Amino acid sequence: MRSGRPDRMRSLGAAIASLPILIVGFASISLGAALVGETKQVTLQQKAPSGVDALKALYRRPSTIPFPKDNPYTPEKAALGKKLYFDTRLSVTSAQSCASCHSPSYGWADGLDVGVGHGMHKLGRHSPTVVNSAWGAIFMWDGRLATLEEQALGPIQSSGEMNMPLDHLMQRLAAIPEYKPMFANLFPKQGMTPQTLAEAIATYERTIVSERAPFDGWIDGDEKAISEAAKRGFALFNGKAQCAACHEGWNFTNDGFQDIGLSSTDIGRGAYAPGVIKMQHAFKTPGLREIGRRAPYMHDGSLATLEQVVDHYDGGGVDRPSRSDLMHPLGLTAQEKSDLVAFLNSLSSNLTPTAAPVLPR
Amino acid sequence: MLRSRTILGLAIIAGFSTGALAATQVIHQQGRAFSEQSITVKKGEALTFLNDDTIPHNIMSTSQGNEFNLGSQPPGSSTDVSFKEAGDVAVICAIHPRMKMAVKVVD
């Protein structure tokens, strides 16, 4: 799983690199500079509904992890990244590590409604899992960071989270004798810098991949791998309930931003897209792998169970201009809701225990 | 007589507008992807953004001088955009971060 890079990923990377501007947030928009014509209705050819085999093919696990060209995988870099990920000395208090909020014990999140940061203060949003972040197109609930390398440095410096200025962190790590030769071997030109620290942590995070779940057994042809209820749930997920309009592909997300009508004052992506109506209250669509281990749910941790999540979508959420056009009451029956939950529960694996690393002294 | 002239007039306008539409370059959005990663258009020439995908998209640009925002564009709709300033324009879907394309606007 840890080498190689599918062609699709390579061409995607090339496409992004070729753009002159990589847009993460949005500049303020003064509309009207380009001329926009009237919108016309166009009759599209109706595609025949996909059979279950064609649908299942869309959910097959990839065989390799994509690593970026400018930060390729090596086992030594991932091993250093793992030590840094679990090292509480990366926080100003030496009490919190990346793993405090993104813990293997809770599906690589923290099991809390919202994260708890520096000084035991509650944060505004639910800690997202780092599972399958190698496939992420953009990072944070509001998409404000473009790469996993940038993401790795975000919470370390954030005053509400680990509250650690990078120059202070570099001084602290430099005083730990066993770290220095590790960085020197892996990064002979740069040595220990915020950038190399971020590259090591991101490399480790990319190796955190959801393991084979019962659902994968069914995708590969074992009809007994999941229950009949879960199979009906899969059909609903792709059909009447329309979940797959956003939770698509093997990791069950297209990384899109949607306002799903949760009643909250947090405008999410809207802070980076002033004037774009559909981005107000919009948050990044999370993947659904290991979802059974990651309660509570949603960007604000406001729903305790998968049953409540399905109820929320069934109701359609708060109807407001920013709400996604995909959100509307679904009219699901009790049986259909229960089938959807059975399907969602088939996406969790028996995660192999993660051994905590011995840290440099 | 007047009625038939009006109909003829409408037919001519419709004919012209169909011709103009055919001449523009069309960007498709099937499968949450732009059909082109980069394209060159002349200043003032229309580019047609056709949502032939199964879900809404929100095509826009914040590139200076050529800003636009189509808002939520439902499947089965098409909108023309013509750019007023020569230069590089980064076009994105606000909803789907993998949807990016570059438009080169030339004089």
Of A35, A38, A245, the CB nearest to B55: A245
Of A38, A40, A256, the CB nearest to B95: A256
In a domain, B86, yes or no: yes
HSE-CB of A75 using CA atoms within 13 angstroms: 1
- Of B14, B74, B83, B22, the closest CA to residue B50 belongs to B74
CATH of the domain at B98: 2.60.40.420
Laid out side by side, the sheet with B68-69 consists of B38-42, B100-106, B87-93, B59-61, B68-69
Of A30, A246, A324, the CB nearest to B67: A30
For A115-166, give the DSSP string.
-B-GGG-B-SSPPPP-TTGGG-SSBSTT--BSSHHHHHHHHHH-TTTT---H
- Hey, is the C-beta of A356 within 8 angstroms of any chain B C-beta? no
**Rounded distance between C-alpha atoms, residue A205 and residue B38, angstroms:** 32
Q: What is the pLDDT of residue A45?
A: 78
Of B94, B97, B100, the CB nearest to A255: B97
Measured between beta carbons, the chain B residues lying within 8 angstroms of A18 are 37-38, 102
Measured between beta carbons, the chain B residues lying within 8 angstroms of A43 are 76
Contact B102 A278 (CB under 8 A): no
Token pair listed for B9? 């007039």
In a domain, B15, yes or no: no
The span from the first CA to the last CA of chain B, in angstroms, equals 45
Preceding omega of A296 cis (within 30 degrees of 0): yes
Residue pair A188/A110 in contact by the 8 Å Cβ criterion: no
In a domain, B62, yes or no: yes
Quick one: three-class SS letters along A202-233?
Answer: HHHHHCCCCCCCHHHHHHCCCCCCCCHHHHHH
Which residue in B53, B67, B82, B92 has the most chain A C-beta atoms within 10 A of its own C-beta, making it the best mutation to test that interface? B67
Token pair listed for A258? 């949607």
Helix (H) / strand (E) containing B41: strand B38-42
Low-confidence ranges of chain B (pLDDT < 70): 1-23
* Residue of chain A whose alpha carbon sits nearest to that of B64: A33
Residue A128 CB neighbour total at 10 angstroms? 23
Distance from B38 to chain A by nearest Cα, in Å? 9
**Rounded distance between C-alpha atoms, residue A273 and residue A250, angstroms:** 29
Q: Is B11 left (phi over 0), alpha (psi -120 to 50) or beta?
A: alpha
DSSP state of A303: B
In a domain, B18, yes or no: no
Which residue in B13, B27, B36, B58 has the most chain A C-beta atoms within 10 A of its own C-beta, making it the best mutation to test that interface? B58
Q: What is the pLDDT of residue B15?
A: 35
Question: Any idea which fold A214-345 has?
Answer: Cytochrome Bc1 Complex; Chain D, domain 2 (1.10.760)
User: For residue B65, what are the domain limits?
Assistant: 25-106
The domain limits of chain A are 75-206, 214-345
Q: What is the pLDDT of residue A240?
A: 96
Measured between beta carbons, the chain A residues lying within 8 angstroms of B42 are none
Count of CB pairs separated by less than 8 Å, A with B: 130
Q: What is the pLDDT of residue B7?
A: 41
Distance from B77 to chain A by nearest Cα, in Å? 4
Distance from A156 to chain B by nearest Cα, in Å? 25
In a domain, B72, yes or no: yes
Measured between beta carbons, the chain A residues lying within 8 angstroms of B69 are 29, 31, 275-276
Q: Please report, in tens digits, the pLDDT of each residue of chain A (361 residues total).
A: 343 333 333 333 333 333 444 445 555 444 558 889 888 888 887 776 678 889 999 999 999 999 999 999 999 999 999 999 999 999 999 999 999 999 999 999 999 999 999 999 999 999 999 999 999 999 999 999 999 999 999 999 999 999 999 999 999 999 999 999 999 999 999 999 999 999 999 999 999 999 999 999 999 999 999 999 999 999 999 999 999 999 999 999 999 999 999 998 999 999 999 999 999 999 999 999 999 999 999 999 999 999 999 999 999 999 999 999 999 999 999 999 999 999 999 999 987 899 999 999 9
- Of A90, A93, A92, A69, the closest CA to residue A81 belongs to A90
Of A33, A255, A273, the CB nearest to B68: A33
Contact A41 B76 (CB under 8 A): yes
Q: Torsion angle, CA of A98/A100/A102/A103, rounded to 10 degrees? A: 120
Residue pair A296/A304 in contact by the 8 Å Cβ criterion: yes
- Of A73, A78, A79, A103, the closest CA to residue A353 belongs to A103
Contact A26 B94 (CB under 8 A): yes
Q: What is the pLDDT of residue A42?
A: 86
Residue A215 CB neighbour total at 10 angstroms? 26
- Hey, is the C-beta of A39 within 8 angstroms of any chain B C-beta? yes
The total of structural domains in chain B comes to 1
Amino acid, single-letter form, for residue B67? E
- Of A117, A70, A113, the closest CA to residue A93 belongs to A117
Just give the CATH number of A75-206: 1.10.760.10
CB contact set of A175 (below 8 Å; sequence gap of 6+): none
Measured between beta carbons, the chain B residues lying within 8 angstroms of A277 are 71-72
Strand pairing report for A283-284 and A257-258: antiparallel
Q: What is the pLDDT of residue B72?
A: 96
Tell me the pTM: 0.87
Q: What is the pLDDT of residue A351?
A: 78
Decide whether A75-206 matches A214-345 in CATH topology.
yes
Residue pair A81/A220 in contact by the 8 Å Cβ criterion: no
Measured between beta carbons, the chain A residues lying within 8 angstroms of B91 are none
Distance from B1 to chain A by nearest Cα, in Å? 31
CB contact set of A243 (below 8 Å; sequence gap of 6+): A236, A237, A313, A340
